[in-house]
Amino acid sequence: MIETSLHALPHGITLSCRSAGPKGAPLLMFLHGFPEAAFVWDGLLTHFSQPENGGFRCIAPNLRGYEHSSAPADAAAYRPRHLMQDIAALIEQAGGPLECLIAHDWGGAVAWNLAAALPGCMKKLAIINSPHPGTFLRELQQSPAQQAASAYMNFLIRPDAEALLAEDDFRRLWEFFTKMGAVDGPHAWLTEAVKAQYRDIWRAGLTGPLNFYRASPLRPPRPGPPHDDLAASAVVIPRDKLEVHLPTLVIWALDDIALPPALLDGLEDFVPRMQLHRVPGATHWIVHEQPELVARHLQEFLR
């Protein structure tokens, strides 16, 4: 059974969480991305809380800005150090370290940074279609293909993005699901019941989720008037902030048009203890499309 709760953290942020499994059991934590929310992990929370699958205590927070979590208005409040502080404090409050931190999309960006900066928070890391900051920065700086694939980020930082995304029953947000793969079209997992859950999240507010993009320079440059926006082209990340020495599982859907497989090139240089599973025929939304496959890879990794 999925439980919901609010967790007030020492630094004044509250995160709304979904959880399952016995309190006091080994901990798993799941971090969602954009434009999703903690509910997308419900199937895996239920799976891994069962005794036959490990009997873990499973927690999925809504990241700051989402659902009932605190949503600071200032985009600067969504910089990586603040996002990491939230998750590190939640892990400590839950009785960590985690057996594993499992993350997708923006949740993965937080997880990569946290694993590099505070590896004592977790024993293992699992990433699902979320680019490592080292390879992502390289591709944003050097690859026209990645710059084109990430161009949507510069739409999401527009001051009118909230209004545009809300138009026509969130038409543009539904297109994130229907046009993020190699083949456009509806997806069987996106049922009317699931769409109702998404509408509830989006109606709670889009400024927080969009502020993740506004706070990050890891997006394509925007040359031209009124002034050049250098974005990723002006970024340098110190090597010690990029290395992850924990056992790490990477599951990568190969038909993700926003995150091409070139992002995997050289990844082992930053993450030497990595297991990589490339999944053909799956898109950015692999957690929804192939939940059994994702659960199986995670199960093997957690043994």
Cα separation, 240 vs 230, whole angstroms: 24
Question: What are the two backbone dihedrals, phi and then psi, of residue 276, each rounded to the nearest 5 degrees?
Answer: -120, 130
What pTM value is reported for the model?
A: 0.96
Q: What is the dihedral of CA 116, 121, 127, 130, to 10 degrees?
A: -50
Domain boundaries, the chain: 3-302
* Amino acid 227: pLDDT: 57
Cα separation, 103 vs 109, whole angstroms: 8
Crossing angle for the helix pair 161-178 and 192-203, to the nearest 10 degrees: 160
C-alpha closest to that of 17 among 106, 113, 86, 104:
86
* Amino acid 180: pLDDT: 72
Contacts 24+ apart (CB under 8 A), 228-232: 231/140, 231/154, 232/137, 232/140, 232/141
Cα separation, 97 vs 101, whole angstroms: 10
Token pair of 65, please? 């800005």
Cα separation, 43 vs 48, whole angstroms: 9
Q: Kind of pairing, strands 100-104 and 57-61?
A: unpaired
Token pair of 80, please? 């990586």
Quick: pLDDT tens for 271-280.
999 999 999 9
CATH of domain 3-302: 3.40.50.1820
How many beta carbons lie within 10 A of that of residue 280, not counting itself?
A: 7
Cα separation, 294 vs 289, whole angstroms: 9
Report mean pLDDT in 10-residue bins for the chain, 303 residues: 97 98 97 98 98 97 98 97 98 97 98 98 98 97 96 96 98 91 68 96 97 96 72 91 97 96 98 98 95 98 95
N- to C-terminal Cα separation, the chain: 23
Q: Are 58 and 85 in contact (CB under 8 A)?
A: no
* Amino acid 75: pLDDT: 97
Token pair of 63, please? 């990241």
* Amino acid 74: pLDDT: 97
Token pair of 45, please? 């929370």
* Amino acid 271: pLDDT: 98
Q: Kind of pairing, strands 100-104 and 27-31?
A: parallel
* Amino acid 181: pLDDT: 63
Whether the link from the prior residue into 35 is cis, omega within 30° of 0, is: yes
